[in-house]
Chain A
C-alpha cells in the first residue's frame, strides 16, 4: 500500500514537472517572442485575415 502511494505521488510530481518543462521549452523555443505572428499563424494566403470562412466550398470566382 505504501509503495503504491509513493508511486502515485512520484507520478504526480512527474506530471507537474512536465508542465514546467513544457513552459521552459516553449520559452526557449521562442514561442512567446512574436505574439502578433502567432495570432495570425492560422491564416494564410488562401484563407487570409479579413475573409470570413464560414463559406464552404470556397466561392469559385475568387480563384
Chain B
C-alpha cells in the first residue's frame, strides 16, 4: 500500500510528521538495505580485484599462473564490479530513499525492487565470471557479454518506472532540486546503456564510430548517471544535516539545467588526437569547458551553504564524507575541463594521470558522497544506530588518505610520464621503469582504502544483521562531542 503523506503545512502536528517520515524511512528497509548490502559486498570484491590489478602493474609475476587472474581480465572485472556492482547499486539505494522522502510516499513495489536487486546481483556476478573466463567484450566500460548487459538495461529501466510511479504519487507542491537530478539519472541512463549496446555490440556503429560511441557512453555514465545521483544527494544531505537551506536555490536549478545541456557533449574528449574528425573532438572539448558553469554554480552553492558550519565536520560522519565528496567534485571537474584542452591532453593522455583523474571522480567524489548517504539513511531505515564511532573514523581516514595518496602519486608520476613520452629521445622502457615507484604508492593507497572498506562493511553488517541494540545511551553516533547544543538562529540561516 502506498502511503501518500500530506505536504507539511504551518499547523501540521510535528508528531504526525515524525511518524510519517519514520514510516517512509521504514518502508525502505527491505529493498533499499538489500541494495546497500549488495553494493558493499561488490565494493569489497571490487577492492580485491583492484589490489590484484594494481600489484600486477609493478610486479607482473603476481598471480600470473592462471589465465583467469591475468591483468587483461582482472582489470575489467574490477571496473565492472565497482561500477555496476558498487556504484550503481548504492546509487539506486540512495535514489530510491531520496525519492520516497522527497515525494513523501512510502516505497512502492517493494517486492519488485527486492527481485530487481537479486537479479542485478546475478547479472553482475554472471558478467564478472564471464570476464574472468575470458569472454569479456574488450570494450571499456561495457565488458559484460551482451545478454548480461541487456538484462541490466531492463533492470535499470524497471527502476526508472518505479521512480516515475513514486514521483506521480507525490502531493502537489515544490519539486526539490535533488528530484530533478535523480530523474535525470534514471531517465537518461537506461537509454544510454541500451544505445551503447546497440551501437557498439549489435552493429549500429562500425569502425572508428564505435570508438566515439564508446566514449559518448562511458563519459555519460559519469556525467549523466553518477554525477546527478552524487550531486543530488549532496544537495539534500548538506542542508538536512546542518539544518540550513541551500544558499542559492536559483543557482542550484541553473546548475542542473546547464549540466543537462552541456555534459552530454563531452564524450569525445577521451579521443583527443585520435582518428576522429577534428570538429567532433572540438565539440567534446567545448562541452567539457562549458561544464565550468554548472560546476562553479554547485561549488559556490555548497560552500556558501556550509559557511559557518564547518565545525560540524568534527562530529557528523555523513557531513564529513559528503563535504569531502562535494569538494572533490569541484576539483575533479575543473581538472577534467582542463584535461580536455588539446595542449594538456597531449601530455596527460595514455598516462597514469588519467587513471588518477578517473578515481578522483568515481571514488573521491561519488563513492565518498555515497558513503555519507549510507551513514544517514541506514539508521533511519532500520531504527538502529552505528555501533562504533571508531570504525567510522577508520573508514573515513582509510578512504580519505588512501585516495589522496592514490591521486597524488599517479598524478605526479603520470604527468612526468606524459612529458617524457613526448620526448622521442627517452626510451619507452626507461619511462616504464620510472613509473614503478608511483605504482607502488598506488598499491599502498589501495591497502588504506581497502581497510576503510572493511571497516565500513563491518559497520553495515552489524547494523543490518545485529538484532541486539548496543548497550549504550540512545543518541547519534557522532565522531566527537558536539560543541554544546548550539542551535542555528533561523534568521541567520537565510
Contacts and interface: CB of A to CB of B under 8 A. Distances in A.
B111 interface: no
Interface string A7-33: 010011001001100110010000110
Given A38-B249, A44-B12, A46-B18, A54 B316 contact: yes
B240 A55 contact: no
B232 to A, nearest CB: 12
Contacts of B379: 56
B198 interface: yes
Interface of A: 1, 4-5, 8, 11-12, 15, 18-19, 22-23, 26, 31-32, 34-60, 63
B175 A31 contact: yes
**Interface size range of chain B in the complex:** 35 or more
B415 interface: no
B102 interface: yes
Contacts of A40: 245
List the 10 closest A-B pairs by CB distance, nearest first: A44-B8, A39-B245, A39-B249, A54-B316, A46-B17, A50-B490, A46-B14, A35-B249, A41-B174, A45-B14
A49 B175 contact: no
A34 B188 CA distance: 28
B239 interface: yes
A49 B492 CA distance: 10
**Interface majority SS on B: helix, strand, loop or mixed?**
helix
Contacts of A41: 173-174, 176
14 contacts: A5-B204, A22-B183, A32-B253, A37-B174, A41-B176, A42-B102, A43-B239, A44-B12, A46-B18, A47-B17, A49-B244, A54-B317, A55-B476, A63-B14
B457 interface: no
A34 B175 CA distance: 11
A49 B243 contact: yes
Interface string B18-49: 10010000000000000000000000000000
Nearest to A8: B204
Contacts of A43: 239, 243, 245
Contacts of A22: 183
A42 B236 contact: yes
Interface string B106-148: 0000000000000000000000000000000000000000000
B209 to A, nearest CB: 10
Contacts of B198: 4, 8
Interface of B: 8, 12-15, 17-18, 21, 102, 173-177, 180, 183, 187-188, 191, 195, 198-199, 203-204, 236, 239-246, 249-250, 252-253, 257, 260, 312, 315-319, 376, 379-380, 383, 385, 474-476, 478, 487-490, 493
Given A4-B203, A35-B250, A57-B383, 16 more contacts: A8-B198, A15-B191, A22-B183, A31-B175, A39-B249, A40-B245, A42-B240, A44-B14, A45-B12, A47-B240, A50-B487, A52-B241, A54-B319, A55-B475, A56-B380, A59-B475
Contacts of A47: 17, 21, 240, 243
Contacts of B245: 36, 39-40, 42-43, 49
Given A11-B191, A53-B240, A1 B203 contact: yes
B12 A49 contact: no
A35 B249 CA distance: 6
Given A4-B198, A46-B18, A54-B317, A39 B12 contact: no
B250 to A, nearest CB: 5
Contacts of B488: 49-52
A26 B175 contact: yes
